[in-house]
Structure 1
Amino acid sequence: MPTIRSAHSSDADAIWEIIEPVVRAGETYTLPRDMTREDALAYWFAAAHEPFVALDGGKVLGAYFIQANQGGGGAHVANCGYMTHSAAQGKGIARAMLEHSLQRARERGFRAMQFNFVVSTNERAVKTWLSHGFEIVGRLPGAFNHPRFGFVDALVMYKQL
């Protein structure tokens, strides 16, 4: 079971090691594939984000952030972004980060969690979120231009806490 703790600026290199291949692949996030290290880390450590890292054996194998999905009348709904090191995929890191984020969302007083744009071809993520009680509440036909599959659907997923 990984240890999850708040991310610090000293984790930047390890987080970039996770973010870079995900961004370059362009298969799961709507971030520019040519995003610089500085821009990626500024995004991950944005003021509105509360970032965390997942460690196993002292090595950072995953990173996630939690934030309010919207401001004002939507500020009671959490939103998160998760990335796992390619060497750790399938080892329960994303599941552990999801469980941690659900607990953290409750601690922060959020009443629900929403994922606005889950790429439908990201089957591992969709399966994980569904197994934790998220529902697909919307489908955006052809909303994501996947580098291998072309235009695929994006899902809106939601769970009350």
Structure 2
Amino acid sequence: MKIRIASDEDWPSIYPFYSAIMAEGRTYAFPEGQSLEEAKPWWMEAPPGRTVVAVVDGVIAGSAKMGPNKPGRGAHIGTGSFLVDPAYQGRGIGRALGEYVVGWHREQGFHGIQFNAVVEVNEPAVHLWTSLGFEVVGTVPEVFDHPEHGLVGQHVMFRRL
């Protein structure tokens, strides 16, 4: 697996799994049913942020976006979002992307990383982020409408760098 900076030419390869994950409605409160062009600004970060892809055997199997969590006085804290193509889940791609994002934020001089909205019933994500040194610092109740579990909370997770 290789992780590299995403280019505009990569977006058509990311979009199919981006669209499938948004349609499932289990992890992100992003708009569903977006076209290729409508979805692009939701995922492809502009500087000072970055979007990367994880490539396995020449195929884009995952992607992450990262950058400042907030502008101005909040810009010392980073954030990130992650997608792994369902056909490639369980192969360590999410962990590799998570490690990349932590390393990038450290190299860029961020003080910490805050994930604003980890769906509390997304046990694989909560487990992964906890194993990478993040902690749940709070949970906002009933803010995510999960297709199976109904109204569930979203964790705010944080890791100091």
User: Under a length normalisation based on structure 1, what TM-score does the superposition of the two structures give?
Assistant: 0.96
Alignment partner of 1:103: what SS?
helix
The equivalent residue for 2:55 is 55
SS at match of 2:103: helix
Deviation per CA, 1:57-109: give whole Å up to 9, x if none.
11100001111001111100110010000011111000000001111101111
For 1:94-109, list aligned pairs within 5 A.
94-109=94-109
CA distance in 1, matches of 2:141, 2:42: 27
Distance 1:38 1:134 in 2: 33
What is the CA RMSD across the aligned residues, in angstroms?
Answer: 1.0
In the alignment, structure 1 residue 7 sits paired with structure 2 residue 12: no
Match of 2:65 in 1: 65
Q: CA-to-partner distance for each residue in 1:137-157, whole Å, 9 max, x for gaps?
A: 010111101122110010000
CA shift digits 1:95-127 (9 cap, x unpaired): 000001111101111110010000011110100
Matched, 1:154 2:154: yes
Aligned amino acid, residue 118 of structure 1? V
Q: Sequence identity of aligned pairs in percent?
A: 37
Separation in 2, partners of 1:46, 1:108: 16
Q: Which runs of 5+ in 2 are unaligned?
A: none
- In structure 1, distance between residues paired with 2:50 and 2:114: 16
Structure 1 residue 17 displacement after superposition: 1.8
Tell me the distance in 2 between the aligned counterparts of 1:123 and 1:9: 32
**Once superposed, which parts of structure 1, at least 4 consecutive aligned residues long, lie more than 4 Å away?**
none
SS in 1 for 2:83: strand
